[in-house]
A and B are shown apart, each in its own frame.
Chain A
Amino acid sequence: MAPLRKLDPFSRFFMKLYRGKHYEATPHTPLRLPLNRCRVALITTAGFLLPGQPPFESGDCSYREMPNAIQTQALINGHKSAAYDERGLETDPNLAFPLDRFKELETEGKIGSLNHRHFSFMGSITKPDALITQSAPEVGHKLKTDGVDVAFLTPV
């Protein structure tokens, strides 16, 4: 657990000032199949980019597609933040986008298959309206169209 008191003073101050919206009813899609028959997609807010993809801007609600076939070592850290130590995920992108781990689960037969694409957002978003109304539902729709059963999400 990371309570607010563990944050650096600036982040703590910001988080205390920050007034998020209140969210009530939680959407619910029960798991329909055993995991070893599910198609799985990953979503990260670590802001990873592939070479040639446009960089994220401050507060950017857009996303980048990550083909399943990529090599994790090719990922670029596009999420520059003073709030955390980035050396770990630059050494091993699996720390916030565990594609190699899920490929191992696929090989072991613990999940059915990996989707042909995954999604990368830049998580540092203080005005999430466009995320809520546009980009996140758009990704949901794309994953549904792909026949994805399970999405695994990681922050940074």
Chain B
Amino acid sequence: MCNQSVGLIQRAVEASGISTVSITLIEDITKKVKPPRALSVPYGFGHPLGEPNNPELQHAIIAEALALLADETPPPILKVVGTLRVP
């Protein structure tokens, strides 16, 4: 339900005039809720930013998500990433 809640909050915040981007762990729910921009990551529940105490991986995921803000395709934008490699 968390992934649905994120999408619903995101829609409301975007409608307030703020650009938004989210992480999702369940692509199927996000396709239904259609928030403006979402990055689907291949991690389990409780792990939207990959792994605890792995700042490099967390930064890599955040950077992928923030990059969607510059995408000028009309929303909804849903990008699916595989496991991110950290240098």
Contact = CB atoms under 8 A, between A and B. Distances in A.
Q: Do chains A and B interact in one complex?
A: yes
Interface of B: 1-6, 8-29, 32-36, 40, 42-53, 55, 58-59, 62, 65-66, 69-70, 72, 74-76, 80
Contact of B6 (A3, A6, A104, A154): A154
B22 to A, nearest CB: 4
A131 B28 contact: no
12 contacts: A26-B36, A29-B14, A43-B6, A43-B10, A98-B49, A101-B49, A101-B59, A137-B12, A140-B17, A151-B10, A154-B22, A155-B5
Contacts of A1: 27, 40, 42, 80
Contacts of A45: 2, 5-6, 9
Interface string A116-133: 000001011110100110
Interface residues of A, number: 63
B15 A85 contact: no
A75 interface: no
B76 to A, nearest CB: 5
